[in-house]
Amino acid sequence: MTAKQIRVMVLNDMEKLDRTLFRLEQGFELQFRLGPTLQGKHVHVHTNYPTEGERFERYKFRVLGWINPTGREDDSDKFCTLDLKISGSYQYYFGHGDKEKSGGGYIVVNPVLRVGEDNHVLPLDCISIQTYLSKCLGPLDEWLDRLRVTKEAGYNMIHFTPLQTLGESRSCYSLADQLELNPDFSPPGQTYTWTEVGSLVEKMKNEWNMLCITDVVYNHTAANSKWIKKHPECGYNLVNSPHLKPAWVLDRALWHVTSAIADGKYKDRGLPALIQNHEHLHAIRGVLWQDVFPKIKLWEFFQVKVEPMVEQFRTLLQSGAKSDRSKTEGKQQLKIIQDPQFRRFGNTVDMNSALETFVPHGSSPGAIEDCCNWLRRRLEELNGEQYHEIKHHQEQATNCIADTVSYERLADHGPKLGPVTRKHPLVTRYFTFPFEEATLEQDLELMNQPEKSCHFLAHNGWVMGDDPLRNFAEPGSNVYIRRELICWGDSVKLRYGNGPEDCPYLWAHMQKYTEITAKHCVGVRLDNCHSTPLHVAEAMLAAARSVRPNLYVIAELFTGSELIDNVFVNRLGITSLIREAMSAGDSHEEGRLVYRYGGEPVGAFLQPSLRPLVPSIAHAMFLDVTHDNECPIQIRSVYDSLPSSAIVSMACCATGSTRGYDELVPHQISVVSEERFYSKWNPQAKPSSPAEVTLQSGIIAGKLALNRLHQELASKGFNQVFVDQVDEDIVAVTRHCPSTHRSVVAVCRTAFKNPKHHRYTDEVPPMCIPGKIEEVVLEVRTVERQADSYKKDERSINGMPGYTVEIKEHIQLKDSKVVRQAGVTSRGRNEYVQEIVFEQLTPGSVIAFRVSLDPKSQELVGVLRHHLIQFNPLYKAGSLPDPNTPDILKSPLTQIMSKMTLADMNILMFRCDAEEKEDGGGCYNIPSWKPLKYGGLQGLLSVMADIRPQNDLGHPFCDNLRQGDWMIDYVSNRLISRGGTLSEVGQWFQAMFAYLKHIPRYLIPCYFDAILVGAYTTALDVTFKQMSSFVQNGSSFVKLLALGSVQMCAVGHFPALPPLSPALSDVPYRFNEITKQKEQCCVSMAAGLPHFSAGIFRCWGRDTFIALRGLMLVTGRHMEARNIILTFAGTMRHGLIPNLLGEGVGARFNCRDAVWWWLQCIQDYCTMVPNGTDILQCPVTRMYPTDDSKPLTAGTVDQLLCEVIHEAMERHMQGIEFRERNAGPQIDNNMRDEGFNIVAKVNPDTGFVYGGNQFNCGTWMDKMGESERARNKGIPATPRDGSAVEIVGLCKSTLRWLVALHKLGLFPYNSVTIHKDGKQLSMSYEEWDRKIQQNFEKMFYVSNDPNEKHPELVHKRGIYKDSYGASSPWCDYQLRPNFPIAMVVAPELFTVEHAWEALNISEEKLLGPLGMKTLDPDDMVYCGVYDNSLENDNYNLARGFNYHQGPEWLWPIGYFLRAKIYFAKKLGKDTYDETVYLVKNVLSLHYVHMERSSWKGLPELTNENGQYCPFSCETQAWSLAAVLEVLHDL
């Protein structure tokens, strides 16, 4: 059972894909998902794909319902779906909010063709088609004898030119009656109908396994069609298309010139009837300019009669008329208004514009007369402009006439029509003229008699280089007057209008014609498709599909643009576009076409069954030659017919030919003039018999073998293609089957030039064929034979009897005449290659080899596929059971991996270069490219994810895999060396790779990918099973963010955390090989990769506790979170926890905020973890029980966590004041001396924690100046001394929690006690909490309060200050993204209205694509681009001084969005819904960034407007955590 194929179309706002082709198969599911620009919006997707059981109606759209498999936290997995069961072209569009359409496109679903009595499927790539000119088949009784040639030559589809009654020109495409079967098909005394044709077609389908298609011609009808005479409104005539009158006048005039030349009237002017040279052409130009144009005065149709216009104007002026400005909109342009009836001088001008343009100076007659004169002059100018424009048209018409005459009468490659006569006029007439001949003057009078002029119908034709989407007969086109139409004088162009109401008879007639065709044939070829009006073809094909749902539609387009081709393919649901090998100028180009028109590259990656829908090119029907093109024998040589056919047959698409090509008919079989019949099949016929053919005629025997091969390759899944240009004439095409790894290699030696006249080299380069040649499928070449020379038969279409093919099929290599020797060489230990030396690969010959892998490789691939079935059932095909399965492969990988911890997963999946180096290794480096981002699987998978969809097998990554086993060994050895379960996983890889290493190198990338993808997806499943239900049931985005927990949380080679109390249970231990001691191995969290991942710079107190809730508590890693909380508790000193941990012994206690983030995490732990408050009673081993003690070993002094918490609170109330140990350059090279003095206290009046000074930075905005040149060294950019808003919020949150805990009896303390001036004072937690509550809004909100302390520093009102009481008072008033942190942790401090206003100002000013601007862009020191290497004189920028003065940091966006969500809920449903859309929209950009990031992370910061910052960590713990917390809140 193969997995259901699902394609995902990602919708992006304003993306209109009308010119992009998406092809799908029946049975596929199409999912529409939201791109980043649409996530969070109310998107509605509409389609005209019908619901099951309903009829398709093009203009009936329905809305698809959304499915959200993971609930509602984000839109990353939301989709709507279509189950595709009906072929055709379908439209979709989408909008959002009040926008009905903000994007859309088409999908084309291929038909399923069935053949034979058992109705088996004929895949599109199996089609081998042959074209017949129906009129050359003779009576219906004789058809099977003639069509049998096609069956015996191995084709499975026939294309008939139209089967209807032909017009008088006898052209196959000029139909006199679209509804009637051609009477030529009925023998004397009988009248056959469509019923008999239907029976014949059915017989061929059932007995011959042969399908039939035919043409539909919608553009024109034969000029002698009876129905067009009754319904002239169906064509373009002078009544319904008066714009054609000037062109008709010119056309009549040219007809009269024809008559005059034919009658010898221009002989004396150097223009005889027989035009033979350029002087004669020059004489024609003279006649046109001297006689024709002056006489017919075409410009008069485009001019105004001046005097009546002036008179009308004078009357208006005399009556005092004024212009109506509302009509002219003040545009004073006087323009000629074209008379819709195109009468001579029938045009007018807009009098309103005239009144506005020419205003008299007064009302006196003189003033009015002046005005009239101005108008007269302007009208004469306008008439002059029209005259010049028509003169340009006449110049073009003259050139086109001269070119046509030159081609038709002088050119060697033209038809050489001979003398000008009424039968062969000077130029083809553009209009019908069904009346007696008269003088030109009499003809022109008919133009004004509608009952006659309605019968002057425009002929059809084609226009070189014209826009195919424009109808050249409609108003606005000048094709007819400029004589640019290459005209088919036997056909009338049909005029459909905009819909059936414009021409009811024509639409009904053509629909009936379509339905008859669809009833009897499985498909149609759209004749002249590029100039068929699209809306007409759309409607007709819809009618055809209602008769035959699986209609096969082919067309040949001459638009010259793939994008415009796609418009036709999309709108009409064309299945295959006709392509032609004859369009190639050499064999190299012919080979390129094979590669272009189908198949994947050999060794392509296995694509997942659920994958993005990617644009494709139209399915090709690749023909060696089409029926309406020149004969290849005339252009190339007779010897090229076979090899070019073989190249075409090897293409992975539909292929075919035209009848006559295989018999070597040495001329084009004309669709107009050919009246002979095709020859019949007779196996006993002699070569010289013109009316019969056998297998030996021409190249038929070769074609049979090639058609069989083509069909076998397609039906058996040989869908990978490689084209090798061996030399200038030899093309080798390989078709490869990806499940069995068998190939067929066809080597074709073309003969574009005739070997009799062109010297071809005897030196054919030898060829190396990878694998073992099982047989020669065929060797065939064109040879001469004893026969009469070719003579064109009068009754039958006959080929050249002097040529046949020599063919051998299914022979052993040793019996080949073409191959002299085949040596077996071995390139490397598993490259089994056969070198072929050719003996008789003469021009015109073809040899095809069937190749398999050598038996050992074949067996190993089979076994490898067997072991891959656990990941994908598609590997069943071509798999072999393994008799000697190694033990490690006997159980599924899931079973082995299920024993792994998340810390093991960190090693398996991630670890950047610095982490790997700590273990003595490093990330894998691809020498010609770059190192991978991770040592684990993600490093490889990130690269493969880019390579796989494109099948970019030329990528350096794939090259490295093909060249050696280094990368393969790296993957397994890296894990084996780790011991434990990781070692088992490494052994599993090693065992799988043992097979991989011994298969041909070209297959290694795709199987390496298969093994890694299988292992990676298994690892992901195991990982998420160990996480919280929020992650397990979460969206793709949630899971991606949760992987950040695995990425950041690791156990290093050296323990990054100091040891926990030995009295604590459930602590992980490991054996240290060096010390031979047991040691703790707790997971620690990196701040960011790659810069903060290893050594003493890995762990930071602030970063850890900002990220811990998101990466550990939300993901369910409770025990590891507990251990980190307790470890840091053990390092407390001075009532603070370290900023830089430095394993405890090298800790720096230089930040004021880390302790508050730590306290917030303990609170979160207690509320989020089941029985979380138990942590308060856990033992904490104190490294520094007093401020001055030396670091103690674990277990020396233990305290309960609740005591440590109380100590932190009490120390702050007492007041923390100390100087850092070892102060000076040894611990900080840039800090000034005063900066080492640390202060953190509580204001007893407000309850606010405050501290710091202007020479240090105790919060997360901790950039210290480093540039002596710019004089900022030792000065913090953002000291944020005083009371930082987020610290006040965190403190308030802690107090609220401790008060509640005490009331529940879970915390033993209710107040802090301090000693001041020899007295013992105490303050209850409740009172401290109340003080902050009472003072916060008063002190932090920047309102319109007249008592504002520093009104001159207020830059924005309605915001919350960034700090209170800073040493530089203006810093308090800066707008920064810190107050939303306080809103999240202590929302009770804020009034809802003020909070909402402040958040909206933040949104407007600070919100970037991925992060929050760290400073208001209106601030004078704002700079959004961080460059840490910049050394200049700019104080504000040098050495990255602006790190927190504008660049957009990611983690604050999490708090901003969470604050928005919290307060939106308070403001009602509408506000909340709007906010959810904002949140989803913002987060969608983070999702896209993570999807695309090779680090699979979110950066620390970006430069302004989301631009990449090269100095940022590529993935940062707190960035991932903050975004994950937003989704958790949703």
Give 528-552 as a DSSP string: TGGGS-HHHHHHHHHHHHHH-TT-E
Structure-token pair, residue 1196: 């020396």
Residue 1191 near residue 1144 (C-beta atoms within 8 A): yes
Quote the Cα angle for 124-127-129, to 5°: 140
Q: Look at strands 1501-1502 and 1448-1449 and give their pairing.
A: antiparallel
647 vs 748: CA distance, rounded Å: 7
* Three-class secondary structure of residue 1070 per DSSP: strand
994 vs 972: CA distance, rounded Å: 11
Q: Is the peptide bond before 468 cis (omega within 30 degrees of 0)?
A: no
Quote the Cα angle for 1312-1314-1318, to 5°: 155
Residues whose CB falls within 8 Å of the CB of residue 597, separated by 6 or more in sequence, listed in order = 579, 617, 620, 622, 651, 652, 653
Handedness of CA 767, 771, 772, 777 (dihedral sign): negative
* Three-class secondary structure of residue 1224 per DSSP: coil
Q: Which residues pair with 1364 in a beta bridge?
A: 1283
Structure-token pair, residue 157: 């589809």
The one-letter amino acid at 1157 = W
* Three-class secondary structure of residue 317 per DSSP: helix
* Active site (annotated) includes residue 628: yes
Backbone angles phi, psi at 1303, to 5 degrees: -65, -30
The one-letter amino acid at 805 = V
1151 vs 1228: CA distance, rounded Å: 14
Host H or E run for residue 443? helix 440-446
Residue 880 near residue 859 (C-beta atoms within 8 A): yes
288 vs 1336: CA distance, rounded Å: 95
The count of other CB atoms within 10 Å of the CB of residue 367 is 14
Residue 484 near residue 403 (C-beta atoms within 8 A): no
1294 vs 1300: CA distance, rounded Å: 10
* Active site (annotated) includes residue 1329: no
Structure-token pair, residue 1158: 């730590």
916 vs 908: CA distance, rounded Å: 12
Q: Which of 530, 627, 741, 1486 is catalytic?
A: 530
Residue 619 near residue 124 (C-beta atoms within 8 A): yes
Rg (Cα) of the chain, in Å, rounded?
43
Q: Which residues pair with 1071 in a beta bridge?
A: 1078
Q: Which of 74, 77, 215, 527 is catalytic?
A: 527
Strands (E), 1175-1275: 1179-1181, 1198-1200, 1216-1219, 1237-1242, 1249-1251
Going by C-alpha positions, the residue among 80, 76, 31, 79 that lies closest to residue 1490 is 76
Based on the number of CB atoms within 10 Å of its own CB, is 969 exposed (0-12), middle (13-18) or buried (19 or more)?
Answer: middle
296 vs 247: CA distance, rounded Å: 11
| CA 1240 to mean position of chain CA atoms | 56
Strands (E), 814-915: 819-826, 832-838, 845-852
1033 vs 914: CA distance, rounded Å: 34
* Active site (annotated) includes residue 527: yes
Helix axes 534-547, 562-572, angle to 10 degrees: 40
347 DSSP assignment: B
643 vs 776: CA distance, rounded Å: 16
**Where in the sequence numbering do the catalytic residues fall?**
527, 530, 628
